Every structure is written in C-alpha cells, then in structure tokens.
Amino acid sequence: MDSGAMNHPVSVGGVVVNAGDAVLADENAILIMPASEAEAEAAAIHAAEVEAEERRILARLANGEVLPDISGATRLIAGEA
C-alpha cells in the first residue's frame, strides 16, 4: 500500500479497520465496529426510538388527548405552525 492511500484496510493495535467501519473513541477505549454491524445497530436504535415514541403517543391518547393535537395537525390547520 502506498503512503497516503485511501479506502484500504489498516491495522490499528492489531485490529483491522476497513473503510466504512464505525470508530468510536473516548479517553478510556476505542471501539471499532464493522460497517454492516454499525448499520444493523443504527437500525435497531431507530426501531427502539420509534417504539418508545409510539408508547408515549398511546399514553397521551389514553389520557384523553386526540391524535390531531398530538401530531400537530390541529395547529397546522389553524395556521399556527
């Protein structure tokens, strides 16, 4: 590999890092996650966030709020958005 090359695997502390891998670091550690795992993890996090938002909406509906108010549609139609 030539000096200054891009998108080639490198070895960092004995760990191979490929182009597209997620690299997370702080003062205590470094985590290297293959791109395919990072994408799957991001999808799982997004799914959990969507599920949590759905639970919040269902709780608000159970407390008597109506969906147009929760979603902002009421304000939008009234021209307040």
Based on the domain organization, do 70 and 51 belong to the same domain?
Answer: yes
Based on the domain organization, do 28 and 40 belong to the same domain?
Answer: no
Based on the domain organization, do 19 and 41 belong to the same domain?
Answer: no
Do β-strands 10-12 and 15-17 pair in parallel, antiparallel, or remain unpaired? antiparallel
Q: Whose structure tokens read 């502390």?
A: 13
Question: Which domain range does residue 8 map to?
Answer: 1-33
Based on the domain organization, do 24 and 51 belong to the same domain?
Answer: no
The number of domains in the chain is 2
Tell me, what's the pLDDT at 58? Answer: 96
Q: Could you read off the pLDDT of 32-79 as tens digits, one per residue?
A: 999 888 888 888 999 999 999 999 999 999 999 999 999 999 999 998
Based on the domain organization, do 29 and 45 belong to the same domain?
Answer: no
Q: What angle do CA 68, 69, 74 make, to 5 degrees?
A: 70
Based on the domain organization, do 3 and 26 belong to the same domain?
Answer: yes
